[in-house]
Structure 1
Amino acid sequence: MTETHIRPLTREYVREILEDLDLKVLTDPDGDPMVILADERAKALAFAAFAVSPGQVLSYIAQVQGAPNWTEEEALRRVNAWNAKRRWPRAFLRGGKIHLDYPWDLEEGVHPALLRDLLLNALAGTVQFLLWLDGLEA
């Protein structure tokens, strides 16, 4: 039976939805669900975590590994170009590495189908970014 009611946001709820998507879900050092995203056409991959704050804000953050070896200025130019054309996930530099993020305020809870769509949107956007890094439009 399909679940139709709004549930409070928890790490376990996020993990459940990710596992329902047939993803291998890991756990980061903070206890948050994490997945590794890759596409056979792209050289880079992303380590993506879904953190749930006490106020039920779901924060998606991904660190890109294997990006081209650009200068910091070139990397900044590239992430700004991504952000100028796409709203999500937002790309930024931290410590010389490319990160992506996507936050949602879900303090009132979330319907399973909506949570599934939000997670899929973040994951698909990340794969698009990885392809875009290599000059491949998804």
Structure 2
Amino acid sequence: MQKKLASRVAMSLIATSALAFSQLACAHAHLTSSMPAANTDVTQSTRTLTLSFTENVEAAFSGVEIVDAQQKPVAGEKTRLDAKQHNRLIVDLAQPLAAGSYQVNWHVLSVDGHKTKGSYRFSVK
């Protein structure tokens, strides 16, 4: 009887460990929202972009690039980590974006060591 109980406890511990490990393996910083939002047309030009992720990111190993419709980088951008919310990157632009289409390319390193990247588009009218 004790052997069966010990076996059940061991199997339960193994299953719990496997579940915990699989959840950690899936823990990557994914983009949850952006301002301007993906695939939108904004009527006012902005001097700041904000990207929010599912978990905190390492600013030193993360970055954002904004390119125009001709794939030329927007000049004068500076990316920083939000001082209060470490899952948020803020991109300050030297000047407002002109009317046109833009692509935002981002890459982040989450605090748990996983790298992710992606891109999205928006337009200024």
Q: Same fold (TM over 0.5)?
A: no
More helix by share: 1
TM-score of the pair, normalised by structure 1: 0.36
TM-score of the pair, normalised by structure 2: 0.38
